[in-house]
Structure 1
Amino acid sequence: MFPHSAPREVLFICSSNADRSIMAEAILRASGAGYINAHSAGLRPTGTVNSLALRELGRRGYPTDGLSSKPLSIFLSGQGQSIDHVIFLCRKAASAQTWEWSATQKVAIWDIPEPSVAQGSDQDIQAAFAYTCDAVERAIRGFCEECLLDQGIGTQAALSASMKAGQEDTVRLGTSPSINETKALTAGASA
């Protein structure tokens, strides 16, 4: 997928590390297998992964083994130095940060809706998880495309050809924040 010497390390951060960041980790692991190592963490992790997030991922065919809710602190030690991309999945988590990332780390904000706050019938709540998973898939598609562009091989045809077999039907194109858009969001948030 991404022809470079070392896999890129991506860390997804949200408040609880129970659904959005877990979805992002699972989807990027499947999409970038061997070329991108995806991780997730929370500012105040619940310690458990939301079963509805796991169900939605499973329904779409994403592997869920090894997913767990973890604190951000494990990535702020030595392991955090190897992270290439830090992606916040909500502005709340991004604004709550009190640490400095390395100048070589790319930081982005995607502002994905939190499905666990949805109210209504079981069908309404499942629809919220599906909507969030759609949003994460679109954002990851944009992220992968941007990674290909960074390497000078990014075209829609190259991206489509590079996606893991069987993922083309799962990952949907749409309007989602690309790395360039999130750089602008990050700059705007710090202004």
Structure 2
Amino acid sequence: MTRDRPYNVLFLCTGNSARSIMGEAIINRIGAGKFNGYSAGSMPKGEVHPLAINLLNKLNYDTGALRSKSWEEFTAAGAPELDFVFTVCDNAANEVCPIWPGQPMTAHWGLPDPAEAQGDEAQRALAFADTYRMLNNRIGIFASLPLASLDELSLQNRLNDIGRLKASAVPERA
């Protein structure tokens, strides 16, 4: 997979308000120059969850351009040609996805939905921080793969392996 442009990565979730939004922010930071991150939902909520924005702001992410949007934006004329599509929720993984132009590689990286966390604000914020940690670690592993030297089957296996990592088995990244 040799490139003359950054790889385009789309993170999908049903509501596009928390997990996929965090995935977009993380890949754009970790993979700056190598990856362009995007997010979308099959049934977008229309707004980014306030606790996701709060967490990303505390971690010094620029959240100004983050918005909840439909995956249909990425099937329309003029949309970026996608290289990778990752579903980060089980609902989106089980839905019939659009046909993506360019036939990107896909994998399921399911994570618990922090927006469904119960408890007081501190407990809910902890759920968002835990989801962020898991996504940050998975995306860090992905971004460090030697993409240019992996054949398609090996790369697909690695992408699937990343998605199968249990939360406790994901190594902490510096």
Fold shared per TM-score above 0.5: yes
Structure 2 residue matching 1:78: 3-state secondary structure: coil
Task: Label 1:53 to 1:92 Cα distance change in 2 as closer, same or farther (>3 A).
Answer: same
Aligned counterpart, 1:179: 159
Q: Which residue of 2 aligns with 1:118?
A: 117
TM-score, normalised to structure 1's length? 0.75
In structure 1, list runs of 5 or more residues that go unmatched: 154-176, 186-191
Aligned to 2:69: 70
**After superposition, where does 1:18-167 map in structure 2 within 5 Å?**
18-80=17-79, 82-101=81-100, 104-146=103-145, 149-152=146-149
Normalised TM-score (structure 2): 0.81
Q: CA deviation at 1:91?
A: 2.1
Aligned-residue sequence identity (percent) comes to 34
For residues 12 and 79 of structure 1, the distance between their equivalents in structure 2, rounded to whole angstroms, comes to: 19
Provide Cα deviations, 1:161-184, integer angstroms capped at 9, x if missing partner.
xxxxxxxxxxxxxxxx95141688
Number of residues of Structure 1 aligned to a counterpart in Structure 2: 158
Where does the alignment leave 5 or more consecutive residues of structure 2 unmatched? Answer: 151-156, 166-174
- Please tell me the residue identity of whatever aligns with 1:91: D
Name the CA shift for 1:47/1:123 in 2 (closer, same or farther; >3 Å): same
Q: Output the amino acid matched with 2:61.
A: Y
Query: Does the residue aligned with 1:128 lie in a helix, a strand or coil?
Result: helix
Q: Give the letter aligned to residue 143 of structure 2.
A: C
Match of 1:157 in 2: none
Closer, same or farther in 2 for the Cα pair 1:81/1:122, shift >3 Å?
Answer: closer
2: CA distance, partners of 1:17 / 1:178? 25
Any conservation in 1 of the 2:84–2:106 contact (CA below 8 Å)?
yes
Q: Give the secondary-structure state (helix, strand or coil) at the position aligned to 1:136.
A: helix
Judge conservation of contact 1:30–1:63 (CA < 8 Å) in 2.
no
Contact 1:142 1:179 in 2 (8 A): no
- Distance in 1 between residues matched to 2:3 and 2:102, nearest whole Å: 21
Whether the aligned pair in 2 keeps the contact of 1:142 and 1:178 (CA below 8 Å) is no
Deviation of 1:102 (Å)? 5.3
* Secondary structure in structure 1 of the residue aligned to 2:144: helix
Instruction: Tell me if the contact between 2:8 and 2:80 (Cα under 8 Å) persists in the aligned partners.
Output: no
Task: Verify the 8 A CA contact 1:107 1:183 in the aligned structure 2.
Answer: no
In structure 2, C-alpha distance between the alignment counterparts of 1:8 and 1:136, rounded to whole Å: 18
Per-residue deviation at 1:68? 0.4
**Per-residue CA distance 1:118-147 (angstroms, 9 max, x = gap):** 00111110110111110110111111022x
